[in-house]
Amino acid sequence: EAGADKNVKNNNGQTPLARAAQWGRGEFVQLLLEAGADRDARDNDGDTALHMAAESNIEAAVRVLLEAGADKNVKNNNGETPLAKAQQNTNVGAAIELLR
């Protein structure tokens, strides 16, 4: 409401949405999406918030992002999908959410 840029990026190209997804702040993920944050914004590695949530096994964030229409088939600069990131880290919960 105060006019802050919800899609501002840090030095790694990560948005507040990606950071919230990575660190398990599901309520912030929801708030940022409702405020119009770009759900498919990419960081310098081509990762989206969904990649970050899947890699960190944040099931609630994965679920919220998918419900908001995040692309679960998007590939990062290494050709990895969010599911691949979940599998690399043996994150079963995130993988299950992505396979629904």
The ranges assigned to domains in the chain are 16-99
Give 60: exposed, middle or buried? Use CB within 10 Å, 0-12, 13-18, 19+.
middle
Class of domain 16-99: mainly alpha
- What is the spatial distance between Cα 12 and Cα 99, in angstroms, rounded to a whole number? 28
- Size (the chain), residues: 100
Contact 96, 86 (CB under 8 A): no
Band of residue 4 on the pLDDT scale cut at 50, 70, 90? confident
Cα–Cα distance measured from residue 84 to residue 80, given in angstroms and rounded to the nearest whole number? 6
What's the predicted TM-score (pTM) here?
0.93
Average pLDDT for residues 4-27, to the nearest whole number?
91
Asked if residues 72 and 100 have their Cβ atoms less than 8 Å apart, the reply is no
Instruction: List pLDDT tens digits, range 77-94.
Output: 999 999 999 999 999 999
pLDDT digits (tens, 9 = 90+) for 33-54: 999 999 999 999 999 999 999 9
